Chains A and B, each alone.
Chain A
């Protein structure tokens, strides 16, 4: 197996799943976003979104907090520093592969 292909096999599988990649990309541009916003932006069902966020939380990439904004109850999600690093590494790996193979 050549190095280009080996780089692909090293990709972080947690991020590589399209819905989770979309979630992490959205969260990387903001301090935090709530469950409803993420649902509207991704088009995922509540159950699907919840499952993907739980997976990202287990991996330490996302932090989920129940909070209030004024009187409005919110479930907000933030990308952790580990999540930021993992996403940056993932992007760099994919970009590098595409640069070498295109």
Chain B
């Protein structure tokens, strides 16, 4: 009985991922981050070599990119689900682990920004950023496996994790003419968007809008 109970609840948790919009939105955020890091690289080496403070300003811009990216990602998911998912397969409100959501969001944002700035600082101190794609690949891979185990149970998160880890390792152990971090975010972001798009297309095909009847 416990097994059935757990299976039913897991099926309900799967529902959030059923339309693929989460992957599309996070993929978009990653592509935006790749553009940010590409800009950082160009400003520091090619475009603005004479403006010594340009990389510093762009470092500071990371917080803005992350904040805007997270806000837009959440908004995109909410609006999409409202107009596409809920009318087709229904509305669900899930429990949020932290009730103190504003404080928790601010803390996550600050922690995320600090984390990336610390990575940049370590890279400058060590004199190389080559290891960062492998580090991030393994980190995101681990998070995706955790997400699969704890939240969704969906097999596709294991594929995403494998791609993240492989991509990170390949970019770290191969010489690239462009920064590996930017390539990592761009490639993994596009992978997520493509997979999310495929899941969405399947979802839309399998779940046409119900006839315009009342919901009871």
Contact = CB atoms under 8 A, between A and B. Distances in A.
Interface of A: 22, 25-26, 28-41, 46, 50, 69-70, 72-76, 91, 94-95, 98
Given A25-B8, A31-B95, A75-B215, A95 B2 contact: yes
A79 to B, nearest CB: 12
Contact of A33 (B13, B91, B95): B91
Contact of A38 (B8, B82, B90, B95): B90
B15 interface: yes
Contact of B93 (A33, A38, A75, A94): A33
B12 A41 contact: yes
Nearest to A64: B216
Interface in B51-110: 82, 86-87, 89-95
Interface string B1-17: 11001001101110100
B127 interface: no
A32 B215 contact: no
Contact of A73 (B9, B90, B215): B215
B177 interface: no
Nearest to A47: B216
Contacts of B1: 91, 94-95, 98
A68 B103 CA distance: 27
B82 A30 contact: no
A15 to B, nearest CB: 12
Contacts of A29: 8-9, 12-13, 95
Q: Which 3 A-B pairs have the closest CB atoms?
A: A37-B90, A36-B90, A29-B9
A36 B89 contact: yes
Given A29-B8, A30-B93, 19 more contacts: A22-B8, A26-B8, A29-B12, A29-B13, A30-B12, A30-B94, A32-B93, A33-B92, A34-B90, A34-B92, A36-B90, A37-B15, A46-B216, A72-B82, A74-B86, A75-B216, A76-B93, A91-B1, A91-B2
30 contacts: A29-B95, A30-B93, A30-B94, A31-B95, A32-B93, A33-B12, A33-B92, A34-B91, A34-B92, A34-B215, A35-B216, A36-B86, A36-B90, A36-B91, A36-B210, A37-B15, A37-B91, A38-B90, A39-B90, A40-B89, A41-B11, A41-B12, A46-B216, A72-B82, A72-B87, A74-B91, A74-B215, A91-B2, A91-B5, A98-B1
Nearest to B82: A70
Contacts of A40: 89-90
Contacts of B90: 33-41
Contact of B5 (A25, A35, A36, A74): A25
Contact of A32 (B5, B9, B15, B92): B92
B32 to A, nearest CB: 26
